[in-house]
Amino acid sequence: MVYSYPAKVVQLLGGADKRRVEALIRAAEARIADRPVLRGEALPGNAWENYDLALAEVRKITSRAPISDLVNRNARADIPVVRKILETHGAVIDQMRRGTRRAVGQVPFEWERRGDEYRSQFTMILAQLAVCRARLDLQDGRARAASDLLLDLCQFARDLGHNSSHTSAMISMFIYWLAFEDLRDALRPGRLSPQDLREIDRELALIDRIFPDVQASILNDTADVGRRFLRGELLIMKSDFSGLESCPPTWRYLWSGPLMAADTFEFQDRMALRDAGAEALSWGEEQRIMTESEAERGRSANPIVQAWSKTRVAFSASTPSCTFRDGRARLRLLRIATRFLACDEVLDLDDPFGSKLRHEAAGSRLKAWSVGADGRDDGGAGDWARNAKDLVLEVGPPSPPNPR
């Protein structure tokens, strides 16, 4: 990068970067935080008043392995132990569900303490505990209760991922995935009545309408990078990525730490504006823009940008937007399946990875699919697992065996 150092010094002294950071923070705090509740009338207040109480109770759980074993369908899962945990720490579920009934769902902005990352240590345990409760309800014949809890968990995931950090947003997508996995099980024949299915259909449509987007988390992370730049924290990488060494300023920046940090923020800001804007485009066009952005990061001579770029490659199996699109595709497949089971109607919904979600219906059976991240329609050849050819959901009575 060729620098106009006098101009850069003038910019630093004139506070242009500071004003940009302040503008990003104001934009984050001005985004609409209220959202509809799934059932009944909304309670006043922010959902995180209750969620933080739930997370405080999660911290008291000393034995967490049994929870993970049940969620992961491990053969050694100790169900009596899990039931005891649920009985002892029932406040976790109660407070989480009360939070979903609040009128506002916005993670508190704690730019100095980075509170959302503190919370992220425990949100996954909360979600796993809710899945355990729902799975046991389903096992005990209470499919509607299980479904309601899983839908509430989707509301919690939304409140974690909406207008938050990259870390919180990605965790929220995994929580959605957990809820969708067990909602799919609840849709098996005979578990839910037509009335139950109609109500679930309504709530899934609402969850789709308020599904978080990746744009806000990209811009909010830029605001945090800028805040750390202004505080002189950007030159220390160990606090961000374990194993990475500090990045001392190089000759390109006249060995000036503030100049290199300013370049880091401005580079991140430019990339974020481009990446965030790509979300509204088609999947193919967004992939092209993301590829260009990654190439530009790779060409950067800034040591901090280089370190971040290597970490993105090492720790990200897919782009954040791909993860968000995958989550929404699963949600819409569940919507199609639920409506079909409720009233024998097939919804016409957009595929986040293509034009429209595909389907095949035969009698009381339905097969619906998304083309998936490769953007290629394989005719429904795939399954519900990640990285399948097509992302496929099938509902209805089992198909009769093929005669030989």
- Cβ atoms < 10 Å from Cβ of 165: 24
Residue pair 25/111 in contact (Cβ under 8 Å)? The answer is yes
For tokens 């405080």, name the residue.
Answer: 56
Q: How confident is the model at residue 241 (pLDDT cuts 50, 70, 90)?
A: very low
Q: How far apart are CA 14 and CA 108, in angstroms?
A: 31
Q: Which residues contact 377 (CB under 8 A, 6 or more apart)?
A: 354, 358, 371, 390
Q: How far apart are CA 256 and CA 37, in angstroms?
A: 51
Q: How confident is the model at residue 12 (pLDDT cuts 50, 70, 90)?
A: low
Kindly tell me if the per-residue pLDDT of 142 is higher than 50.
yes
Using CB atoms within 10 Å of the CB of residue 389, give its burial: 0 to 12 exposed, 13 to 18 middle, 19+ buried.
middle
Q: Model-level pTM greater than 0.95? A: no
Classify 238 as helix, strand or coil.
coil
Q: How confident is the model at residue 5 (pLDDT cuts 50, 70, 90)?
A: low
Kindly tell me if the per-residue pLDDT of 14 is higher than 60.
no
Q: How far is CA 395 from CA 184, 335, 400, in A?
A: 9, 12, 14
Q: How far apart are CA 41 and CA 56, in angstroms?
A: 26
Q: How far apart are CA 349 and CA 338, in angstroms?
A: 13
The DSSP code sequence of 14-52 is: HTHHHHHHHHHHHHHHHS--B---SSSPPEEEETHHHHH
Q: How confident is the model at residue 239 (pLDDT cuts 50, 70, 90)?
A: very low
Question: Mean pLDDT in the chain?
Answer: 86
